């Protein structure tokens, strides 16, 4: 492309700032402009100003939503995991549940190098609406139950608190492992607190009458049960000692077993998260 054509093209892109702020671009143009926006500080500045103007148009339309909407949304969020921050954007992996990780949790993971100068990020980023919509459906189903059983709600809240607690530990670290079928186990652990949050993805429901049980493996010691997985809810465990070398998951009869009775379906070393000393 000649310099002139390129300049012309860029000028042309600049002029899309106002239609962009009004959401008046077609998807292709929008993507093109957002790409340009990353490199064009002037455009980003202009878009920000224009967007504030557009937001005033929006606010002037404020209206009272139906009261039932509040209940639905508030119930829904209780069962909806949050996405991590933009550092993870376009990252490798996980379309599934990933707890939001504070920056320090990623430690030496390559994520850190992806950190960009904040103002170079586009102002708008595409969102996973389809997933959000699906989550809402699931959550609404949950809400019906939750409304009846406050206990369940309390349990869910207590669990989020537990997870938040692990995440907040200064030495919290994350690691994941996968089996040959691509199903994975993820853990966020704090060695100093002896706590960990463990998630399974891709395993689906266990066979009828069976449960998945989590085990703590240490050298020269019998495996210790860390609990049973309920559906795909993360398992919060406490009391992990530093000698722990790995976690293992086995399929056991309902109610769990005192010791594993089957081969592990997946195993995960804990060295990278500060254990195994």
Report the alpha-carbon distance of residue 262 to residue 265 in Å, rounded: 9
Among the listed residues 3, 42, 60, 150, the single contact to other proteins using CB under 8 A: 60
Residue 97 sits in the site that holds other proteins (CB under 8 A)? no
Residue 255 is encoded by which pair of tokens? Answer: 């109610």
**Binding of residue 48 to other proteins (CB under 8 A):** yes
We find the least distance from the C-beta atom of residue 117 to other proteins, in angstroms, to be 11
Is the separation of the CB atoms in 250 and 211 below 8 Å? Answer: no
Interface with other proteins, residue 11, by CB under 8 A: no
Residue 123 sits in the site that holds other proteins (CB under 8 A):
yes
Which string of DSSP letters, residue by residue, matches 39-59? H-HHHHHHHHHHHHHHHHHHH
Compute the least distance from the CB of residue 34 to other proteins, in Å.
Answer: 12
Nearer to other proteins, 234 or 264 (CB): 234
* Tokens 């060295």 found at: 271
Query: Does 174 sit near other proteins (CB under 8 A)?
Result: no
Residues 130-169 that bind other proteins (CB under 8 A): 132-133, 135-136, 139, 157, 160, 163-164
> Where in the chain does DSSP place strands (E)?
173-178, 184-190, 195-201, 210-218, 221-228, 235-237, 246-253, 266-269
Site for other proteins in 22-41 (CB under 8 A): 22-26
Separation in Å, CA 129 to CA 27, 74, 134, 136, 158: 15, 18, 8, 10, 28
Length reported for the chain: 277
Q: Pick from 82, 147, 192, 238: which binds other proteins (CB under 8 A)?
A: 82
Instruction: Dig out the tokens for 35 from the structure.
Output: 């790409």
Q: Considering beta carbons, is residue 143 or 217 the nearer one to other proteins?
A: 143
Calpha distance 120→202 (Å, rounded): 35
119 binds other proteins (CB under 8 A): yes
Task: List residues near other proteins by CB under 8 A.
Answer: 15-19, 21-26, 48-66, 69-70, 72-74, 76-78, 80-86, 100, 118-119, 121, 123-125, 127-129, 132-133, 135-136, 139, 157, 160, 163-164
């Amino acid at each position: 492309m000649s310099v002139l054509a390129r300049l012309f093209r860029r000028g042309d892109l600049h002029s899309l700032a106002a239609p962009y702020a009004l959401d008046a671009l077609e998807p292709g143009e929008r993507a093109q402009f957002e790409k340009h926006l990353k490199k064009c500080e002037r455009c980003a500045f202009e878009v920000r100003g224009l967007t504030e103007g557009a937001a005033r148009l929006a606010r002037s339309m404020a209206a009272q939503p139906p009261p039932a909407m509040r209940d639905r949304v508030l119930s829904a969020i209780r069962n909806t995991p949050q996405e991590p921050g933009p550092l993870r954007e376009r990252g490798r992996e996980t379309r599934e549940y990933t707890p939001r990780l504070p920056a320090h949790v990623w430690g030496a993971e390559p994520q850190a190098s992806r950190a960009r100068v904040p103002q170079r990020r586009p102002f708008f980023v595409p969102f996973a609406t389809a997933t959000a919509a699906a989550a809402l459906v699931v959550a609404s189903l949950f809400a019906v139950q939750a409304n009846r059983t406050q206990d369940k709600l309390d349990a869910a809240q207590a669990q989020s608190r537990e997870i938040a607690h692990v995440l907040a530990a200064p030495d919290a670290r994350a690691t994941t492992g996968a089996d040959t079928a691509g199903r994975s186990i993820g853990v966020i652990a704090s060695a100093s607190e002896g706590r960990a949050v463990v998630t399974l993805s891709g395993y689906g429901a266990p066979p009828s009458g069976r449960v998945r049980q989590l085990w703590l493996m240490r050298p020269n010691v019998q495996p210790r049960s860390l609990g049973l997985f309920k559906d795909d809810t993360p398992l919060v465990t406490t009391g992990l000692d530093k000698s722990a070398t790995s976690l293992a998951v086995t399929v056991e009869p309902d109610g769990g077993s005192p010791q594993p009775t089957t081969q592990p379906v997946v195993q995960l070393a804990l060295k990278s998260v500060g254990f195994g000393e």
